[in-house]
Structure formats: C-alpha cells, structure tokens
Amino acid sequence: MNRSISQIALVVNDYDEAIDFYTNKLNFKLVEDTTLSETKRWVVVSPQGTNGCNLLLAKAATDEQRNSVGNQTGGRVFLFLHTDDFWRDYNLMKEKAVEFTSEPRNEKYGTVVVFKDLYGNLWDMIGQGIS
C-alpha cells in the first residue's frame, strides 16, 4: 500500500493576500489557481523544491470558517516547514517582515524557530542543527 497526504486545507480570508504572503514572503510557488465559481477558487501553493504536501488555500465562506482563520489548531503550532538552509531562509523571512515568536534555538532534531503566517497560525521552521 502506498498512500500520502497530498494537501492540507488552510482557511484564509482572501485568496490574493494569501497567495502574496506565501509566494513573496515564504518563497513558496503557486502550483494552481483555478476559478471554480464567482466566489470559489482552487488555489494550491507549495514550498520551492518539494514533491511533498501542498497547501490548499481555502477562502472562508461561513461564519464558523471565518472564526477559524488564524487559529486552526487552538494556538498550537500548526505546520512544520523543513529547510535545507535554516539561516538562509530565516534571514530572508526576517528581511520580508515575517513575524517570529521567539529566537532560533537548537534542539536534538535541528535548529528551530516559530513564526506566524499572515493570519497568526503558528509554524515551526526546522533546519540542520548547529555544531
């Protein structure tokens, strides 16, 4: 049996502002942007150089969905971004005014820092540890 998670839906307020954040601040690529109706699009972004899981940017359509924007996991870290060059990506994100909640720290599994996306969802960025 061969299965994988191909996409995770991330509820957003606006397609275009979310595309801008993920492509310009986090350097993700826009994989697909297809109009499905006047109010709905199929928007997929992905980290550069990955064949793994993508993010489906899903515009909130109900009050319940709008209330979950930025807090999809009740304040816990939601997504984990692995990088082959922690300091390159950390410095680029700082230059682009991505908000970090702490300073980078070394853990057994690598160098890690928590940052917020444009709506406040928490992410871990994890890279190679420092000797």
Q: Side by side, which strands form the sheet with 7-12? A: 7-12, 54-59, 41-47, 28-35
Q: Does pLDDT of 50 surpass 90?
A: no
Tokens of 37: 């109706």
pLDDT, the chain, mean: 94
Q: Tens digits of per-residue pLDDT, 96-118?
A: 999 999 999 999 999 999 999 99
0.85 cut: is pTM over it? Answer: yes
Write the CATH number of the domain with boundaries 7-127. 3.10.180.10
